[in-house]
Amino acid sequence: MQFCPKCGGIMMPAGRSDGKIMLKCTRCGHEMVVEAAAVSRDFVIETRVPQEERVITTSRVSSGGRRRARDLEEWEQEREEYREILLEQLQQELEGGEE
Ligand SMILES: [Zn+2]
């Protein structure tokens, strides 16, 4: 997620050219251009679960080591899917953003 340097509002993708993305502030309309790769990376960071949460999840299902391993695996998979969905949405936003 990108935030507006002026007002701190959320910057949404508003266009793209030559591997760069134009972001527009939803609050004040301030525009800035960033590398597309940088935006994708931010989205990945956004979906990462903090280390502590992960530990809590692990201890909560600690009855039976086999089950815990499977749950963790499923969770990893869900996280991957979630990330893919986010990136897909970003892609659609950029491709269909010329209304
Ligand atoms: Zn702003």
Domain presence at residue 4? yes
3-class SS shares of the chain: helix, strand, coil, % to 5: 55, 20, 25
CA 57 to ligand 1 centroid distance, Å: 37
pLDDT at 27: 94
Domain count, the chain: 2
Same domain? For 59 and 40 the reply is no
Confidence of residue 24 (pLDDT cuts 50, 70, 90): very high
CA 24 to ligand 1 centroid distance, Å: 8
Domain presence at residue 11? yes
CA 15 to mean position of chain CA atoms: 18
Same domain? For 40 and 66 the reply is no
Domain presence at residue 99? no
Q: Give the domain extent around 21.
A: 1-46
Residue pair 98/20 in contact (Cβ under 8 Å)? The answer is no
CA 30 to ligand 1 centroid distance, Å: 5
- Residue labelled with tokens 């266009």: 15
Domain presence at residue 31? yes
| pLDDT over threshold 70, residue 14 | yes
Average pLDDT rounded to a whole number, residues 26-36: 90
CA 20 to ligand 1 centroid distance, Å: 19
Same domain? For 66 and 84 the reply is yes
